[in-house]
Amino acid sequence: MLNFEVRATLEHPATEDFGQLVLYLLLPCSQKVQQLRRYIGGNNAVLQN
């Protein structure tokens, strides 16, 4: 149910950043690292392993 609410939040651009933050906090550690790298620097070679 929580996941559904987060997805609903993400559908609205005004709250998209907040939704991304919620998703980030819900992720396990390893996925947090991947999401954070993707969020900070999509094409930044330094952050991509």
User: pLDDT tens, 2-25?
Assistant: 565 656 555 655 566 777 777 777
To the nearest 10°, report the CA torsion of 17, 1, 37, 12: -30
What do you get for the CA distance between the two ends of the chain, in Å?
34
What's the pTM value of the predicted model, to 2 decimals?
Answer: 0.28
DSSP H or E run through 44: none
Higher pLDDT, 36 or 43: 36
| pLDDT(31) > 60 | yes
User: Domain map of the chain by residue range?
Assistant: 5-40
Residues 6+ apart with CB under 8 A from 37: 47, 48
